[in-house]
Amino acid sequence: MTIALSAVSSCGTISKHWPREQPAWTEHGLAVQWVSTIKNFLEDYTNVVVVPEGILEEKSSWLAQQESKVDIVVEVRFGDAGLGKARGSETLYHPDSHIGKIAALCVQGGLGYILQPNLGIREGWVKTATGKVVDEFLCIVAPIVLVVIPEFIHNAMTISKFRNIGGRLLAEGLLAAQVELEKRGDL
């Protein structure tokens, strides 16, 4: 089994940062740190790759070219509440993915324990001017694709403080998902 880790892109999209007036933290920079931490925990237990920086199409193409099949793709992002008051962690999955929902439950179970409040799991719908659509990243072709949001960008001190324990719990959740889905014959 192979797990691919992706830090939210800093190109092609509007990057979140905080504070808004004089940014000290960028979403991409914090996500890169989390991906590195998660990779360090996972690499002793399973095959793990880090998706190179790029726009969605480049990431998708890179994943398709991997020698070993990628079973789970996880992108680390941080929420943005605008006013800087929201807190908590959540995990998103593709609305049509039953196994994605199982994996999201495994991941969020540990992550939500330490990064409170636990906002839980949810289908990855995004509101647009014409209705709602599935988050583009969740449409990457892989058996399981998750977007993990450990915290909101304005809580960068919490993001940094809990990176090691949060990264470890996220990694353990991914390994638990692997075991559960292999046991069920879904991977």
pLDDT digits over 2-24, tens only?
999 999 876 545 555 445 555 56
3-state secondary structure of 146: strand
> How many domains is the chain partitioned into structurally?
1
The band of 101, judged by pLDDT with boundaries at 50, 70 and 90, is very high
Say which range, 55-59, 82-86, 162-166, has the weakest mean pLDDT: 82-86
Q: What is the rounded average pLDDT of the residues 165-171? A: 96
Does the pLDDT value for residue 72 go beyond 80? Answer: yes
Q: What is the mean pLDDT of the segment spanning 93-112?
A: 95
Position 102 confidence tier, pLDDT thresholds 50, 70, 90: very high
For 64-90, b where at least 16 C-beta lie within 10 A, e where not — what string? Answer: eeeeeebbbbbbbbbbbeeeeebebbb
- Which uninterrupted H or E stretch holds 6? strand 2-7
Provide the CATH number for the domain around residue 170: 3.40.630.40
Distance CA 136, CA 145 (A): 11
Instruction: Look up the pTM and report it.
Output: 0.90
Q: Identify which of 15, 163, 155 has the alpha carbon closest to the alpha carbon of residue 85.
A: 155
What is 105-129 written as a DSSP string? Answer: HHHHHHHHHHSSSEEEEEE-EEEET
Task: Provide the residue range defining the domain that includes 97.
Answer: 2-184
